[in-house]
Amino acid sequence: MSLHPSVSPRRSAIAGGLYGLLIGDAIGRCYEFKSAAELPPPEAIAMRPPCGYPATYPFVPAGTWTDDGAQALALLDSLLESGRLDLDDFGARLLAWCDEGVYTPDGQVFDIGIQTARAFSRMRAGIPAARAGDAHERANGNGALMRVLPLALWHRSDDAELVRLAIEQGRLTTATPAAA
């Protein structure tokens, strides 16, 4: 049951999933790239890290999601506007995020993974989005996994088709089988 009569259950699920992703991403931003031993105790993990904790990206305001959240928003926007997974449209939206700060809370981009930056350079050079991801065996970024939730929430066909589309959207930034 949706919260408002005019909001469909599917739309509520998509919104709820994205809110959860963005909030979790914003909380986790402070703790990115730390080992388990470096993390504060679970009860101390919050949007603002404990006093004295060496937060990742300390210059970024609390509540700001990372590249993962921004890319998920770009994917959802593309799916909703195109009505399908359109890699060129999605790629253009990712470039708008990178170059213009679209899909960020404040217009500021503060983190782009190595594989993603390389793929963006290829797209800017005219390589189609579907072939922009690096296929080298050591090009194993996880951005495709971190942004895929909107596809799972939007998709209405069988699981095999969802898996195929999830792999396809990942090709924009990482085309190795291990990253799929």
One-letter amino acid at 140 equals: N
Check pLDDT > 50 for residue 1: no
Mean pLDDT confidence for 10-22: 94
What angle do helix axes 67-82 and 87-100 make, rounded to 10 degrees?
Answer: 140
pLDDT value for 135:
82
pLDDT tens-digit map of 146-155: 999 999 999 9
- Are the beta carbons of 129 and 123 closer than 8 angstroms? yes
Mean pLDDT of the chain: 91
Check pLDDT > 70 for residue 178: no
Check pLDDT > 50 for residue 12: yes
How far apart are the C-alpha atoms of 51 and 81, rounded to whole Å? Answer: 43
Tell whether the torsion through CA atoms of 56, 57, 61 and 65 is positive or negative. Answer: negative
pLDDT value for 3:
53
Dihedral, 90, 91, 93, 94 alpha carbons, nearest 10: 120
| Non-local CB neighbours of 135 within 8 Å, separated by 6+ positions | 175, 176
Return the percentage of the chain with pLDDT > 90, whole number.
Answer: 81
Domains, in order of start, for the chain: 9-179 (1.10.4080.10)
pLDDT tens-digit map of 26-74: 999 999 999 999 999 999 999 999 999 999 999 999 999 999 999 999 9
pLDDT tens-digit map of 84-122: 999 999 999 999 999 999 999 999 999 898 889 999 999
For the chain, the 3-state helix, strand and coil shares in percent, each to the nearest 5, are 55, 0, 45
Cα distances from 167 to residues 139, 177, 178, in angstroms, run 15, 9, 11
Q: Which of 99, 89, 151, 147 is nearest to 120 (CA)?
A: 99
Is residue 64 classed as helix, strand or coil in its secondary structure? coil
How far apart are the C-alpha atoms of 85 and 90, rounded to whole Å? Answer: 8
pLDDT band per the 50, 70, 90 thresholds, residue 2: very low
Q: Which of 103, 137, 102, 97 is nearest to 117 (CA)?
A: 97
